Amino acid sequence: MFRKALALKVFEAFSIQRWNDKLRPVELSEMDKHAHKMIIAYCLGKYEEQSGRAVDWDKIIENGIFELLRRVITSDIKSPVYRQIRLAHPEVFNEFNSWVYNQLLSFLGELPEAIRVNLKSYLFDFEREDSLTRKVLEAAHIFSSFWEFQILRQAHPEGYHMKEIDKSMHNSLEPYLDLTGMRRIICKEKVSDFIDLCGQLRFQIRWGQIPRVPRTSVLGHMLLVAVFVYLFSRDVQVCPKRLYNNFFGALFHDLPEVSTRDILSPIKKSVEGMPGVISKIEEELAEKEIFPLIETTWRQEMKYFTKDEFTSRVRLGAAITRSTTDEINAKYNADQYDPIDGELIRMADDLAAYLEAYVSAFSGISSRQLEEAMKNLETRYQGKSLAGIPIGSLYADFR
């Protein structure tokens, strides 16, 4: 079970500003960028599967999370400088990675040993990683940076080095054009619009008009929830398909908000029947505006992720059946049942919301709404466990 220190360390990615030496019309945080990267990695991986290639989703998810943790630790080093150290000074690079690993160990001590072993392997042996896994993550990383750069270029097209950066980024994309998904994205096929649409979630700020620091976006929030769900899932020892469903189900759980915008919980629950009405509208808008942008063969999976996102479910034959996380542990923890833990996603979503309020209040920016939200969540989870996960003790860490 992860603890308060790791939760707060992951949350720091919201405070890491990207391109902070350039004119930026909007804030560009590391958390938002990484969320967009993992969405792009999902699209690239799905296309490779359609081409008949075996995709190691466990490694894509885990290495993506490890890279986020690494960047939180090394936030003061710009990517070009980091690459130069890696390529030109391998001995210094290995020593630096040892330092990064030791820094992270202080936050990962209570996680399963396999996670620590895999993190060390990622830091020191990523170049020997499965070539497709590495290529998908690198391509997603580069394109998500390229997507951000288009915003900067529009704001300051004649800025210092802008033309050189533009040329360099185009050149960086070229080695990945053997990936089917990259060719489709570059050629502006419909998946490109889907990636643009997801990217817009970084402009939607959570908690409406309530002042907070740092301000968090819907896009970054989705990744924070996905990271927490991944960590919960590793505690429960889920099967591979369940881990895949849980992570990407969490990553896409707020996707319909690209059409409806983020609606605060008090408004959703203001009158009887309002949650059901909003959910129905989200489904209708998703059918009209989101699902047509992805491949037909992905649509049922995306609906599985986004409909009843906080309900645990399995497939029994052709039917989707409601279940519970405890029941899945006992009877359905196998790939053939296509299990997804909506309850874990809800638990992670609440924890992410709690952190958004807690960090702001701890930083000196609080309000009645934030205080009430924290108190309500603390009360809801006090002394509670789910599938053996002592979530109540994690909230007690913060109290």
pLDDT at 269: 60
pLDDT at 129: 62
Q: Would you mind telling me the total number of residues written for the chain in this entry?
A: 399
The DSSP line for 312-358 is -EEEETTEEEE--HHHIIIII-SGGG--B-HHHHHHHHHHHHHHHHH
Average pLDDT of the chain is 93
**pLDDT tens sequence across 113-129:** 999 999 999 998 866 66
CB 348 within 8 A of CB 395: no
The three-class DSSP label of residue 123 is helix
Nearest CA to 27 out of 155, 113, 114 is that of 155
Distances from the Cα of 153 to the Cα of 157, 160, 326, angstroms: 5, 11, 50
CB 59 within 8 A of CB 130: yes
- And the tokens for 353? 């919301």
Alpha-helical (H) ranges within the chain are 4-11, 30-50, 57-73, 79-88, 90-108, 113-125, 131-155, 162-173, 180-186, 190-199, 218-236, 240-251, 257-260, 265-268, 274-285, 296-306, 325-327, 342-362, 368-381, 391-398
In the chain the first and final C-alpha atoms are separated, in Å, by 17
- And the tokens for 388? 């053996």
Amino acid at 280: K
pLDDT at 268: 59
Domains of the chain with bracketed CATH = 4-202 (1.10.3210.10), 218-398 (1.10.3210.10)
Distances from the Cα of 160 to the Cα of 152, 168, 365, angstroms: 12, 14, 36
- Give me Rg for the CA atoms of the chain: 21
**pLDDT tens sequence across 267-321:** 556 677 777 787 788 888 889 999 999 999 999 999 999 999 999 999 999 899 9
The three-class DSSP label of residue 16 is coil
Which residues of the chain are under the pLDDT cut of 50? Answer: none
- Peptide bond just before 214 cis, omega within 30 deg: yes
Torsional class of 322: left (φ above 0), alpha (ψ -120 to 50), beta (otherwise): beta
Strand partners, 10: none
CA 215 to chain centre: 17
CB 59 within 8 A of CB 133: yes
Q: What is the pTM of this model?
A: 0.95
